[in-house]
Amino acid sequence: MTIRNIQIFDTTLRDGEQSPGASIEPAQKIVLARQLARLGVDIIEPGFPVSSPGEFNAVQQISRELQGTEIVGFARAVKGDIESAIKATQDAARRRLHLFISSSDIHLDFQLKKSREDVIRIAREMVAFGKASVDEIEFSAMDSTRTGLEFVIELVEAVIEEGATVINLPDTLGIALPEEYEALFRNVRAQARGGDKVRYSAHCHNDLGLAVANSLAAIRGGATQIEVTVNGIGERAGNCSLEELVMAMETRKEALQAGTGINTSEIYATSRMVSRTMHFPIAYNKPIVGRNAFQHESGIHQDGLLKNRNTYEIMDPEAMGIPRSMIILGKHSGRHAIKHRMSEYGIEVSGEQLETVYTRFKDVADEKKIVTDDELLRLVGEATATQHDPYVLTDVQVKTGPAEVCTAQVTVRTQDGAAHSRTGEGTGPLEAVIRSIQELIPVAAQFEDLELHSLSTGEDAHGEAVVSILHEQARHQGTAIHKDIILAAATAYVAACNQALLSSARKRQQQQA
């Protein structure tokens, strides 16, 4: 069986940045572009050079630095745009000029106010103008899925004659059905003069939730390049999601007979970086990278997973760099899940102790929906009259005000029952609290990420904090729920540190054994 290689064209830094509220600084674009290169995308479209000096400089620096990745200069079918895109990408080892113009009647009548003949003439002139400087020309017929096959073919034939090498047929409004989109590619390839001599690309928007399905349909129709964004960000409902498309192809490679060169182990890190940099949260149920994508609360599912992961998972999250926390403890969880979670901390409970813990666990789960690890350790400690976690946060006091520096005093209790306090400073209350805890807990861990979520509304609202740390090349997560979000974040950080310490201790015991 021959597996076709599908090139991944990433437009996170151009189309993705057009998401309302997702604008980023040029320096941040460069950092994200480096991560996209590590991810293994074939082509990066880093921005719209003519739009601002900062945008131009970012595209220029990315072109100079990322010599192993093809860089795209994006431009309207306007000479000034084209000149700016050509100049910004001139130092790239491999570069492409990406031109677009509208093709549907509704765009021509109300936006461009031009005839079809005008569009054909402009497209010819601008492709020829760009071709004088750049060999690789991608042409996009914007809104092609609402244009009509006859005019799409006429426009494609015209730009092929002028030297276009890649034809993009975008579903700009996300209106196409998969069978319609596949047919569009098949018909253009078969009927356009020279259509079999160029490559084809798909650019799908997600207005009807069909962007990934349509992109896969385009591959069946002959497309060899798919345009995507990380986390599916982009105009309105977004673009085809890179991680969803790649993992669909990886998981169903034999059925699709197509694959990519993406380094899947970098998927999670890239997703988190884009989310943090663009201040764009990821939906809990987002496929692949959402927090619930590989988490299970149902007792039946948890029991199956503990026996064989493949019972309820079709992908391995760890292969994508996603921390394995597949069991979420809630009111639907059973005794097996609780016992398994305790064993991860090196704690064995059974018989009456397990029943006591389980009864108390159900009461807490009814009230809080999710029982965090530190809450479970507290329940086990009450049942066994033992403090199992190395550190327990007992007090947090924060002094804030108009001054630039905040002060925090934190107290923790160790397993020997002793209380220890430290004071720390920071530019904000959370930084001051974290620095105080770092003075108290001797674990050389990198504070990686913090997520804060509101679980309810009104005066009695609770906030959930999820803290991720890196320790000895392993990622650990702590979760806590509290009305005070600073206290929730501090408790989650202590829980993550406890996990790291207990994990290290177990590794040492295993090595000695």
Fold of 391-512: Double Stranded RNA Binding Domain (3.30.160)
Query: pLDDT band for position 117 (50/70/90)?
Result: very high
Residue 223 has pLDDT above 70, yes or no: yes
pLDDT at 368 over 70: no
Residues of the chain with CATH 3.30.160.270: 391-512
Q: What is the mean pLDDT of residues 122-136?
A: 98
3-class secondary-structure state, position 502: helix
Q: Span 7-274: which CATH code?
A: 3.20.20.70
pLDDT beyond 80 at 330: no
- Residue 394 is predicted with a pLDDT of 94
pLDDT tops 80 at residue 353: yes
What six digits make up the tokens of 162? 């002028």
Strands 474-482 and 199-203: unpaired
The CA–CA distances, whole Å, from 28 to 17, 203, 233, 262, 402 equal 12, 24, 16, 22, 29
Predicted confidence (pLDDT) per residue in 34-49, tens digit: 999 999 999 999 999 9
Range list for CATH 3.20.20.70 in the chain: 7-274
Report residue 267's pLDDT band, with 50, 70 and 90 as the boundaries. very high
Distance (Å, whole) CA 229 – CA 510:
43
Tens digits of residue pLDDT in 189-217: 999 999 999 999 999 999 999 999 999 99
The residue to which tokens 């080892």 are assigned: 93
Instruction: Kindly tell me if the per-residue pLDDT of 50 is higher than 90.
Output: yes
Residue 461's pLDDT band (cuts 50, 70, 90) = confident
pLDDT band at 22 (very low <50, low <70, confident <90, very high): confident
Mean pLDDT, to the nearest integer, of 305-315? 80
Average pLDDT, the chain: 91
Residue 299 in this model has a pLDDT that exceeds 70: no
At 115, is the pLDDT very low, low, confident or very high (cuts 50, 70, 90)?
very high
> Residue 302 — very low, low, confident or very high, per pLDDT cuts 50/70/90?
low
User: What pLDDT was estimated at residue 452?
Assistant: 85
Q: How many CB atoms lie within 10 A of CB 284?
A: 11
Helix axes 116-131, 149-161, angle to 10 degrees: 30
CA distance 319 to 317: 5
Provide the pLDDT confidence category of residue 292 given band limits of 50, 70 and 90.
Answer: confident
> Considering the entire predicted model, what is its pTM?
0.85
Question: 374: closest CA among 286, 291, 479, 446?
Answer: 479
Side-by-side strand order, sheet with 419-426: 391-399, 406-414, 419-426
Asked whether residue 369 carries a pLDDT value surpassing 80, the answer given is: no
User: What is the average pLDDT across 212-232?
Assistant: 98
Task: Report the candidate in 340, 329, 377 with the shortest Cα–Cα distance to residue 498.
Answer: 377
What is the band of 297 on the pLDDT scale with cuts at 50, 70, 90? low
> Which is more confident, 240 or 427?
240
